[in-house]
Amino acid sequence: MSYWNRVLGAPHTREAYAAFVRAQDERLGAFLEFDPERRNTADRGTEDGRGAGGHRRGVGLLAGLPVAVKDNIAVAGFRLTCGSRFLEALRCPYTATAVRRLEAAGARVVGKTNLDEFGMGSSTDNSALGVTNNPYDHARVAGGSSGGSAAAVAAGLVPLALGSDTGGSVRQPASFCGVYGFKPTYGAVSRYGLVAFASSLDVVGACARDLDTLEAAFAAMRGLDERDHSSLAPEADTGAGSAVPAGGAEVRAVGVLTGLEGLAPGVQAAYASTIAKLRGRGYELREISLNTLQYVVPAYYTIATAEASANLARYNGVRYGARPEMADNPDELVRTARDEGFGPEVKLRILLGTYVLRSGFQDQYYLRAQRIRTAIRNELNRAFEQVQVILTPTVPVLPFAHGEGELTAFEQKLADQFTATASLAGIPALSVPGEWADGLPVGMQLLAPAFAENRLWALGRELGEAGTPPDYPAFPEWAASAGYRLDLG
**What amino acid positions are annotated as catalytic residues?**
70, 145, 169
β-pair type (137-141, 133-134): antiparallel
Report the candidate in 416, 431, 423 with the shortest Cα–Cα distance to residue 463. Answer: 431
Q: Do 192 and 96 meet the contact criterion of CB atoms below 8 Å apart?
A: yes
The residues pairing with 66 across neighbouring beta strands, listed in sequence order, are: 108
Q: Using CA atoms, how far apart are residues 126 and 441, in angstroms rounded to an integer?
A: 22
- Span between the terminal Cα atoms of the chain, in Å: 14
Q: Using CA atoms, how far apart are residues 304 and 350, in angstroms rounded to an integer?
A: 10
Phi, psi dihedrals of residue 275, rounded to the nearest 5°: -60, -45
Phi, psi dihedrals of residue 11, rounded to the nearest 5°: -85, 150
Report the candidate in 130, 133, 135, 138 with the shortest Cα–Cα distance to residue 112. Answer: 130
Q: Length of the chain, please?
A: 489
CA 152 to chain centre: 13
The single-letter code of the amino acid at 436 is W
Report the candidate in 440, 482, 476, 8 with the shortest Cα–Cα distance to residue 208. Answer: 482
Report the candidate in 246, 223, 97 with the shortest Cα–Cα distance to residue 162. Answer: 97
Q: Using CA atoms, how far apart are residues 451 and 437, in angstroms rounded to an integer?
A: 32
